């Protein structure tokens, strides 16, 4: 008796009972459902259901996850032993030692995020009596990738419960939420436990422990693990030691999965190619951030900002580099394009994306407390996305009404033509 038939029997046994959604979810997760529609009636056959959509996004995230596991170890050992002088990908980066740090630090984050989130989903599905929704599959993968590596697991669990319940389930579950659940979780962590979420001790594994040991009197070198943005926000003057290619390929400290702009770019292209994510949002967000960065660069070039100003460090940062450091690339590709919380209209997507990029860079520069403020910019635009949509739709209606009015007020040659126009416009 195979697992499949056992599950099928359990499913039949509990059909119509309270626990039915839980067994259904296991069954459809592990096997292809055997219920098909039979003859009679017309059906739409489409391959891209919710599950397929979610799986595609996860496929785009897998390379980022694997890279982040190696990078966790690479940053850890480099911070202790110093960065390798002649960097070679195979010898210094893709090593078992690096990967081991990833396994013991990154994998638990993924497991806790999925475990806690899915338990909450199952509970709600059983209570409310609907099928378990697939919405958490992507959220659960995104969450571990946007937190600092040393985040304690209980914090993550608390935040996931908050994010899934308050951010999503109270609105009626998947597809109804107004804020991106992954970002709600990140924002909860950020405001509830700020010392674990920002500063220069959280981005590299071991930096916090080491600083505590030093405080206790151990004779060790401190591990410095600042992000590039955190460094620039303090306006210390001298250049960081990271090269542009380091920033682009992601050999820099930062949240677990946000560092590699290269792999995120590949993931973004994959999502555009499979038509899962909106290219309009991505393009307009990139344009928005470049425009804002360029304005700040011009302000610096014109000499309006003194070098001693607290904004100088980030204002003088070349505008295109904003895209390859920090969470901006990750946010644009995986967060802003969330089809539920983003703008739904094509025209609205341009405004929505543009303001995400624009406000992200603005927060980075003007708000030294939040150099990693991309997630807040996306949350803010999530709040305003329905407003944008509302006005785009109103504008459309108004334009069509006007066309209709023109067609009826000026019947040119014959009544027939006006009728034709009317038929076209309505």
Instruction: Give whichever of 84 and 172 is closer to another protein, judged by the CB atom.
Output: 172
Using the minimum distance from each CB to another protein, give the nearer residue, 75 or 180.
180
* Residues 6+ away with beta carbon under 8 Å from 367: 373
CB of 134 to another protein, least distance (A): 17
Q: Which of 65, 340 has the CB closer to another protein?
A: 340
**HEC profile of 326-365:** CCHHHHHHHHCCCCCCCCCCHHHHHHHHHHHHHHHHHHHH
Return the exposure string of 374-412: e unless at least 16 CB atoms fall within 10 Å of the residue's CB, then b.
Answer: bbbbbbbbbeebeebbeebeeeeeeeeeeeeeebeeeee
Helix (H, G, I), strand (E, B) or coil at 224: coil
The helix, strand and coil proportions of the chain, stated in percent and rounded to the nearest 5, come to 65, 0, 35
* Minimum distance from residue 359 beta carbon to another protein (Å): 7
| Chain residues that interact with another protein, rule: CB under 8 A | 128, 166-167, 170-173, 176, 178-179, 184, 187, 190-191, 194-195, 198-201, 233-235, 310, 359, 363, 366-370, 373, 376-377, 379-380, 382-384, 386-387, 389-390
* CB proximity list for 335: less than 8 A, separation 6 or greater: 142, 180, 182, 183, 375, 378
Q: Smallest distance, Å, CB 155 to another protein? A: 15
Q: In the complex, what is the shortest distance from the CB of residue 246 to another protein, in angstroms, rounded to a whole number?
A: 23
Smallest distance, Å, CB 306 to another protein?
13
Residue with smaller CB distance to another protein, 70 or 358: 358
- CA dist 25 and 178 (Å) reads 25
Q: Coil, helix or strand for 239? A: coil
* Residue 375 and residue 187 in contact, taking contact as beta carbons nearer than 8 Å: yes
| Cβ partners under 8 Å of residue 25, min gap 6 | 122, 125, 131, 132
Complex with another protein: residue 108 or 368, whichever CB lies closer: 368
Rg, Å, the chain Cα set: 25
Please identify, using beta-carbon distances, which residue of 55 and 235 lies nearer to another protein.
Answer: 235
* Nearer Cβ to another protein (59/178): 178
Closest to another protein by CB, 63 or 368: 368
- Residue 355 Cβ vs another protein, minimum distance, rounded to whole Å: 12
Rounded to the nearest whole angstrom, what is the least distance from the CB of residue 296 to another protein in the complex? Answer: 14
C-beta separation of 284 from 354 below 8 A: yes
Q: Which of 221, 191, 199, 285 is nearest to 79 (CA)?
A: 221
Question: Contact, 314 vs 232, CB < 8 A?
Answer: yes
Please identify, using beta-carbon distances, which residue of 73 and 258 lies nearer to another protein: 258
Pair 33, 39: CB distance under 8 Å: no
Q: How buried is 184 (Cβ within 10 angstroms: 0-12 exposed, 13-18 middle, 19+ buried)?
A: buried
- Compute the least distance from the CB of residue 37 to another protein, in Å: 25
Residue 378 — φ and ψ, nearest 5°?
-70, -40
What is the smallest separation between the CB atom of 415 and another protein, expressed in angstroms? 34
Q: How far is the CB of 230 from another protein (least distance, A)?
A: 9
Q: Are 317 and 232 in contact (CB under 8 A)?
A: yes
Nearer to another protein, 149 or 377 (CB): 377
Which among 371, 353, 229 has a CA at the least distance from the CA of 288?
353
């Amino acid at each position: 008796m195979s697992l499949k038939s056992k599950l099928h029997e359990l499913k039949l046994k509990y059909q119509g009972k309270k626990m039915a959604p839980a067994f259904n979810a296991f069954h459809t997760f592990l096997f292809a459902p055997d219920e098909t529609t039979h003859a009679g009636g017309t059906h739409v056959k489409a391959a891209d259901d919710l599950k397929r959509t979610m799986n595609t996004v996860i496929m785009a995230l897998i390379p980022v996850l694997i890279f982040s596991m190696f990078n966790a170890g690479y940053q850890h050992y480099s911070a202790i032993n110093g960065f390798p002088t002649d960097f070679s990908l195979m010898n210094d980066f893709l090593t078992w030692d690096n990967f081991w740090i990833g396994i013991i630090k990154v994998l638990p984050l993924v497991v806790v995020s999925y475990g806690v989130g899915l338990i909450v989903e199952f509970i709600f599905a059983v209570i409310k009596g609907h099928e378990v929704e697939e919405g958490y599959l992507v959220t659960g993968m995104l969450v571990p990738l946007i937190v600092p590596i040393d985040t304690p697991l209980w914090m993550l669990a608390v935040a996931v419960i908050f994010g899934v319940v308050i951010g999503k389930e109270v609105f009626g579950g998947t597809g109804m939420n107004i804020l991106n659940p992954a970002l709600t979780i990140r924002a909860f962590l950020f405001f509830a436990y700020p010392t674990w979420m920002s500063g220069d001790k959280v981005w590299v594994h071991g930096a916090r422990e080491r600083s505590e040991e030093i405080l206790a009197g151990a004779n060790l070198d401190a591990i410095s693990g600042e992000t590039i943005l955190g460094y620039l926000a303090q306006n210390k003057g001298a250049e960081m030691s990271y090269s542009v290619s380091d920033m682009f390929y992601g050999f820099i400290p930062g949240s677990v999965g946000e560092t590699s702009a290269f792999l995120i770019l590949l993931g973004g292209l994959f999502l555009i190619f499979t038509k899962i994510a909106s290219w309009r949002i991505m393009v307009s967000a990139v344009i928005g951030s470049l425009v804002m960065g360029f304005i700040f660069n011009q302000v610096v070039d014109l000499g309006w900002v003194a070098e001693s100003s607290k904004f100088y460090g980030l204002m003088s940062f070349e505008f295109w580099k904003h895209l390859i450091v920090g969470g901006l690339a990750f946010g644009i590709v995986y967060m802003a394009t969330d089809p539920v919380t983003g703008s739904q209209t094509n025209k609205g997507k341009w405004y929505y994306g543009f303001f995400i990029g624009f406000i992200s860079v603005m927060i980075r520069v003007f708000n030294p407390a939040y150099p990693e403020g991309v997630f807040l910019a996306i949350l803010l635009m999530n709040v305003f996305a329905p407003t944008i949509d509302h006005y785009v739709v109103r504008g459309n209606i108004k334009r069509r009404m006007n066309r209709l009015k023109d067609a009826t007020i000026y019947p040119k040659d014959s009544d027939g033509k006006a009728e034709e126009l009317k038929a076209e416009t309505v």
